[in-house]
Amino acid sequence: MLLTHRIAFRWHQFRDETQGLVEGFQSLLVNLVCLKLKFPEKQSVIVILDSRREAVMLWLLWLCNILPRYEVWVIRRAGDLELRLQRDFGGELLLVASARVFCKHYGLLVELRRQRRLIVL
């Protein structure tokens, strides 16, 4: 492949992937705000992400009083998720996973979706 082709290929890959990340995270934020405003009684929420950057942004949004302080799991490997899921949650807890983390670990999360209240945003 020519060098110019390789650069163009990498640029498109970077742009498409980052745009997907941006849109996915925006979708998560808008829906978390909707949960907070429209369903204030549903406070027991765990947010499952795959990126520390996104976890920091959620924390900053809590500091700005835009979002409640949710428990956030940053899952890098399927093994981490398996460990966390061994915990006893209680009945009322709502798990919210980003679409990206769901796709990365769908083997585990599809099972979880059948057993618990799991929302993919």
Interface residues toward another protein, by CB under 8 A: 1, 5, 9, 12-23, 25-31, 33-35, 37-39, 53, 57, 61, 64, 66, 76-79, 94, 99, 102-107, 110, 113, 117, 119-121
Name the H helices within 1-121: 3-38, 52-63, 78-85, 99-104, 106-115
CA distances from 95 to 14, 22, 85, 108 (A): 30, 21, 11, 13
**Nearer to another protein (CB atom), residue 22 or residue 71:** 22
To the nearest whole angstrom, how small is the minimum distance from the Cβ of residue 115 to another protein?
A: 13
Paired tokens of 107:
């083997």
To the nearest whole angstrom, how small is the minimum distance from the Cβ of residue 31 to another protein?
A: 4
**Nearer to another protein (CB atom), residue 17 or residue 71:** 17
**Nearer to another protein (CB atom), residue 30 or residue 71:** 30
**Nearer to another protein (CB atom), residue 70 or residue 104:** 104
To the nearest whole angstrom, how small is the minimum distance from the Cβ of residue 111 to another protein?
A: 9
User: What is the distance between the alpha carbons of residues 47 and 34, in angstroms, rounded to a whole number?
Assistant: 14
Counting every residue written for the chain, the total comes to 121
To the nearest whole angstrom, how small is the minimum distance from the Cβ of residue 16 to another protein?
A: 3
- Residue listed under structure tokens 């709502």: 94
CA distances from 108 to 21, 81, 112, 114 (A): 21, 8, 6, 10
